[in-house]
């Protein structure tokens, strides 16, 4: 591509002129790349000169360099560019075109030099000035990007009456209101009125909006801007413009100490000089936070005198925690602001806000938002998304549900893709048949293609019709909530209904006996999934009591597997680790200033990540009483505040506590002999309840939904458990093409030898591992059993024998 000299900017022409002069001055009529580098630094107002000056590449430094290597003879007359220099200009033209720039500027020429690693100018930069060429290249590209963004801002804010230097650091909210670029503000009339009243004061006329993230603090300011734009405000502020100052824009480029303070002072003076500007500073606590290191002046200190005199009207916005941490403790700053609390709207108010925003989101997504979707977004977000505030979380639900629906409508169904592939394949076959002059086959294929194309058209027409009438309802909102939280809030499918109806049977596949506990848990799960449980408490809270090895922990795992298809989806807290009072910090997280503050609590962090889960407090009697006090809030209100002050919701968890308390007394009682069986059961329950009342406070016992007493395992129970264990072993053996067949007498022997009245079913598992699994492995290795096929286990005398079956 030929070099077009008409594309040279004025700065480039000055660069060439100064480069020619320096070449002749030091005895050369050829302008090399080093002379071009000198030309770039000599044109002070250009981008390249500014960037190079920051790195110490100045006119004087290069002049001294030329003097050292010069012969001292100056020349006169015409000069010519070296081939390498001409090549640089060609590269610069390419770079300008790639960046969609109309002219070749000094920045493009400097990028061309940096791209030509072998040219003399690049070697000077690397060897003399110790500049990393790649870093400098990245810096120039970043400068160009910032310039482009600034131009975008200027274009978007054309028509603003604010000074140009201010628009580089923020935006004119009043202009956006006049251009109807702001969303409607609903339900914040009281807060907007309060802000107007403060702004109309003579002194200390600076409101600060305080509220949690997402409650609508910025919306209050946008509502004020809309009121100013429509003239619905007092005369004092009718001609004012609201300027949103971005802290990032204020700090950008302030590399050295004092630069930001100077930039802020210049900004304040510009605002005061204009006289009709109200400054809005979102996250105003960052001004108090910035420069808070020892020995530095905080920007907020510079604002104080202007705020006190009423010269600089400012609206701030911050969260409750940040206000307390950074502004409230600075009394001089606090008294210059008048707080305006912005509380989250109620569910009803949120519904009205969403109805006001409905048209905006429908126009953007081209999806119809039904009233059912709006009500579901407000209700479900309030109930299930507990770590964010209304209306922000409800608006996000609507936005994402619309986005999901739009994507689904625009994606081609698999049937359409299959038809397109088939048409493409048949077209290729038809063309091949035509080339081979097999016209009969070509005609037949063409007929098939026409039929498929008609079918494809029908499908495409239905997609267009469906997308044109696309809408979202309650179920689409519920799907998004489920995706965000992992909590199933969508309508029950037929498969889920079937599972919930037979939930007891599913649990009995893993847990033998214990009907009372299984029935109580199943009822609670069904209530929750249908949506009938108390929304302010956990799904259910259960205390499983009984001797060790009877299935308390196993039932907890079975519940997790039945609900989530994975027994590991359980938050298990071993209470033997919480026997001291100070270990409560392990549970909920250390308070600020203590070791481990950033790590969070073992309980609260897991529940925050998995809000729909089974929470198992194993061996609850071993926990310190201080730990049990923390459980009171979980059981009653379904929430717990962690060490960082965040509220963690337990409303969608199943709380299970296990305890062996009272089991020793029962065992001692049984060793003395047996009486009437039914009376024995009643006395067992009384023993457990007496032990429970002695150990735990009434307020804890009273908050538990169901206390389940697990019965000791009978011989029949143990036989069933051994069958389950053998079935589990056969599952593992199946991958090795082995199957275990055990004689009933051998089962009786395993139960008799492997079970224990004190330890329940746990010894049975160990016996099967030692006497069956270990011996099979040993015999296969010795060649006494085949590595595939059926292995029979029989009882011979007092010993298990193993035989292979052909």
CATH of the domain at 295: 3.40.50.300
Q: Are residues 146 and 295 in the same domain?
A: no
Burial (Cβ within 10 Å: 0-12, 13-18, ≥19) of residue 447: exposed
Task: Say if 419 falls within a structural domain.
Answer: yes
Say if residues 220 and 280 touch (Cβ distance below 8 Å).
no
Q: Other CB atoms closer than 10 Å to residue 433's CB: what's the count?
A: 18
Number of domains in the chain: 5
Beta bridge partners of 655: 541, 615
Task: Give the pLDDT band (50/70/90) at residue 247.
Answer: confident
Burial (Cβ within 10 Å: 0-12, 13-18, ≥19) of residue 691: buried
Listed ranges 65-79, 232-246, 487-501; the one with the highest mean pLDDT: 232-246
Task: Say if 479 falls within a structural domain.
Answer: no
Q: Are residues 682 and 575 in the same domain?
A: yes
Please give the Cα distance from 261 to 299 (Å, whole number): 7
- Which stretches of 168-277 are DSSP H helices? 173-178, 189-199, 217-230, 235-238, 247-251, 259-274
Q: Are residues 248 and 311 in the same domain?
A: yes
Average pLDDT over residues 759-778: 82
- Per-residue model confidence (pLDDT) at position 482: 84
Please give the Cα distance from 789 to 800 (Å, whole number): 19
- Per-residue model confidence (pLDDT) at position 152: 54
Of 647, 676, 709, the position where a domain reaches its end is 709
Task: Say if 348 falls within a structural domain.
Answer: no
Q: Are residues 139 and 34 in the same domain?
A: yes
- Per-residue model confidence (pLDDT) at position 58: 85
Please give the Cα distance from 517 to 669 (Å, whole number): 23
Average pLDDT over residues 440-456: 83
What residue numbers bound the domain in which 607 lies? 494-709
Model confidence at 603: pLDDT above 50: yes
Average pLDDT over residues 240-247: 87
Please give the Cα distance from 316 to 43 (Å, whole number): 43
Residues 6+ apart with CB under 8 A from 49: 40, 41, 42, 43, 106
Say if residues 308 and 204 touch (Cβ distance below 8 Å).
yes
Q: Other CB atoms closer than 10 Å to residue 249's CB: what's the count?
A: 19
Please provide the average confidence, as pLDDT, over all residues in the chain.
Answer: 81
- Per-residue model confidence (pLDDT) at position 254: 65
- Per-residue model confidence (pLDDT) at position 202: 83
Q: Are residues 207 and 224 in the same domain?
A: yes
Residues 6+ apart with CB under 8 A from 402: 361, 362, 364, 365, 367, 369, 472
Average pLDDT over residues 75-101: 82
Task: Say if 166 falls within a structural domain.
Answer: yes
Residue 76's SS3 state is coil
Say if residues 472 and 358 touch (Cβ distance below 8 Å).
no
- Per-residue model confidence (pLDDT) at position 673: 47
Of 680, 709, 738, the position where a domain reaches its end is 709
Q: Residue 722: phi, psi to the nearest 5?
A: -65, -35
Q: Are residues 327 and 424 in the same domain?
A: no
Task: Say if 620 falls within a structural domain.
Answer: yes
Q: Are residues 622 and 529 in the same domain?
A: yes
Q: Are residues 316 and 451 in the same domain?
A: no
Beta bridge partners of 618: 574
The sign of the dihedral angle between the CA atoms of 245, 246, 248, 249 is negative
Q: Are residues 691 and 725 in the same domain?
A: no
Q: Are residues 506 and 542 in the same domain?
A: yes
Q: Are residues 638 and 502 in the same domain?
A: yes
Specify the length of the chain in residues. 806
Which one has a higher pLDDT value, 258 or 266? 266
Please give the Cα distance from 464 to 363 (Å, whole number): 17
Q: What is the CA radius of gyration of the chain?
A: 39
Residue 172: C-alpha distances to residues 9, 160, 240, 503, 598 (Å): 32, 7, 11, 60, 39
Q: Look up the CATH number of the domain holding residue 792.
A: 1.10.8.60
Please give the Cα distance from 499 to 34 (Å, whole number): 80
Task: Say if 379 falls within a structural domain.
Answer: no
Q: Which residues of 732-741 are buried (b: 16+ CB within 10 A; e: fewer)?
A: ebeeeebebe
Task: Say if 482 falls within a structural domain.
Answer: no
Q: Are residues 141 and 169 in the same domain?
A: no
Residue 18: C-alpha distances to residues 53, 59, 271 (Å): 17, 11, 41
Task: Say if 644 falls within a structural domain.
Answer: yes
Residue 564: C-alpha distances to residues 215, 519, 570, 621, 653 (Å): 34, 19, 9, 28, 12
Please give the Cα distance from 49 to 560 (Å, whole number): 67
β strands within 101-248, DSSP E: 170-172, 207-210, 241-245
Model confidence at 706: pLDDT above 90: no
Model confidence at 374: pLDDT above 70: yes
Please give the Cα distance from 266 to 299 (Å, whole number): 13
Of 151, 180, 208, the position where a domain reaches its end is 151
Task: Give the pLDDT band (50/70/90) at residue 73.
Answer: low
Say if residues 46 and 106 touch (Cβ distance below 8 Å).
yes
Q: Write the pLDDT tens digit of every residue in 355-364.
A: 989 988 988 8
Listed ranges 220-224, 318-322, 556-560, 586-590; the one with the highest mean pLDDT: 220-224
């Amino acid at each position: 591509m030929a070099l077009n000299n008409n594309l040279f900017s004025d700065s480039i022409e000055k660069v060439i002129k100064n480069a020619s002069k320096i070449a002749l001055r030091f005895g050369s009529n050829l302008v090399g790349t080093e002379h071009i580098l000198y030309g770039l630094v000599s044109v002070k107002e250009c981008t390249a000169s500014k960037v190079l000056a920051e790195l110490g590449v100045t006119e004087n430094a290069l002049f001294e360099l030329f003097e050292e290597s010069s012969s001292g003879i100056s020349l006169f007359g015409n000069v010519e560019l070296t081939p390498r220099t001409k090549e640089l200009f060609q590269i610069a033209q390419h770079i300008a075109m790639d960046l969609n720039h109309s002219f070749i500027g000094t920045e493009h020429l400097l990028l061309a030099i940096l791209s030509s690693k072998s040219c003399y100018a690049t070697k000077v930069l690397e060897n003399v000035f110790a500049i990393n060429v790649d870093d400098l290249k990245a810096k120039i590209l970043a400068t160009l990007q910032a310039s482009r963004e600034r131009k975008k801002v200027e274009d978007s804010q054309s028509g603003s009456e604010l000074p140009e230097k201010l628009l580089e650091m923020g935006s004119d909210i009043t202009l956006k209101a006049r251009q109807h670029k702001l969303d409607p503000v609903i339900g914040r009339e009281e807060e907007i009125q309060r802000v107007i009243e403060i702004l109309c004061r003579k002194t200390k006329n600076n409101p600060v909006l305080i509220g949690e993230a997402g409650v609508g603090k910025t919306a209050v300011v946008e509502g004020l801007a809309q009121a100013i734009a429509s003239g619905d405000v007092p005369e004092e502020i009718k001609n004012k413009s609201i300027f949103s100052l971005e802290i990032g824009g204020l700090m950008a480029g302030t590399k050295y100490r004092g630069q930001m303070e100077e930039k802020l002072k210049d900004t304040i003076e510009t605002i005061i000089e204009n006289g009709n500007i109200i400054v809005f500073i979102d996250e105003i606590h960052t001004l108090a936070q910035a420069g808070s290191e020892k020995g530095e002046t905080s920007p907020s200190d510079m604002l104080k005198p202007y705020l006190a005199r009423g010269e600089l009207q400012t609206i701030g916005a911050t969260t409750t925690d940040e206000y307390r941490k950074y502004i409230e403790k600075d009394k001089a700053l606090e008294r210059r602001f008048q707080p305006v609390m912005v509380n989250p709207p109620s569910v009803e108010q949120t519904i009205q806000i969403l109805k006001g925003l409905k048209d905006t989101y429908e126009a953007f997504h081209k999806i119809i938002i039904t009233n059912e979707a709006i009500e579901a977004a407000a209700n479900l977000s309030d109930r299930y998304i507990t770590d964010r505030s209304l209306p922000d979380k409800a608006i996000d639900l609507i936005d994402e549900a619309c986005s999901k629906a739009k994507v689904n409508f625009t994606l081609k169904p698999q049937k359409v893709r299959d038809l397109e592939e088939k048409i493409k394949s048949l077209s290729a076959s038809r063309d091949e048949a035509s080339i081979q002059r097999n016209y009969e086959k070509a005609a037949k294929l063409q007929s098939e293609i026409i039929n498929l194309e008609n079918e494809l058209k029908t499908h495409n027409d239905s997609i267009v019709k469906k997308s044109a009438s696309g809408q979202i309802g309650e179920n689409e909102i519920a799907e998004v909530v489920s995706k965000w939280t992992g909590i199933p809030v969508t309508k029950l499918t037929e498969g889920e209904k079937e599972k919930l109806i037979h939930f007891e049977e599913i649990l009995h596949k893993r847990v033998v006996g214990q009907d009372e506990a299984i029935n109580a848990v199943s009822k609670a799960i069904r209530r929750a999934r249908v949506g009938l449980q108390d929304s302010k408490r956990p799904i259910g809270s259960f205390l499983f009591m009984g001797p060790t090895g009877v299935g308390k922990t196993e039932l907890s795992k079975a519940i997790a597997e039945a609900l989530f298809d994975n027994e590991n989806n359980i938050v298990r807290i071993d209470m033997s680790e919480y026997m001291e009072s100070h270990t409560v910090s392990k549970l909920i997280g250390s308070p600020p200033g203590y070791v481990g503050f950033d790590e969070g609590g073992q309980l609260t962090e897991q529940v925050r990540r998995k809000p729909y889960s089974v929470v198992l407090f194993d061996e609850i009697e071993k926990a310190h009483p201080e730990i049990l006090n923390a459980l009171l809030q979980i059981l009653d209100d379904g929430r717990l505040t962690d060490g960082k002050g965040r509220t963690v919701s337990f409303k969608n968890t199943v709380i299970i506590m296990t305890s062996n308390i009272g089991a020793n007394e029962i065992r001692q009682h049984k060793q003395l002999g047996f009486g009437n069986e039914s009376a024995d059961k009643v006395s067992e329950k009384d023993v457990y309840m007496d032990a429970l009342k002695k150990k735990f406070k009434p307020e804890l016992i009273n908050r538990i939904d169901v206390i389940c007493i697990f019965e000791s395992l009978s011989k029949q129970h143990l036989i069933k458990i051994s069958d389950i264990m053998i079935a589990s072993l056969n599952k593992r053996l199946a991958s090795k093409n082995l199957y275990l067949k055990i004689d009933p007498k051998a089962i009786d022997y395993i139960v008799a030898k492997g079970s224990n009245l004190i330890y329940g079913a746990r010894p049975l598992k160990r016996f099967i591992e030692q006497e069956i699994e270990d011996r099979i492995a040993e015999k296969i290795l010795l060649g006494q059993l085949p590595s595939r096929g059926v292995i029979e286990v029989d009882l011979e005398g007092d010993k298990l024998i193993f035989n292979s079956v052909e």
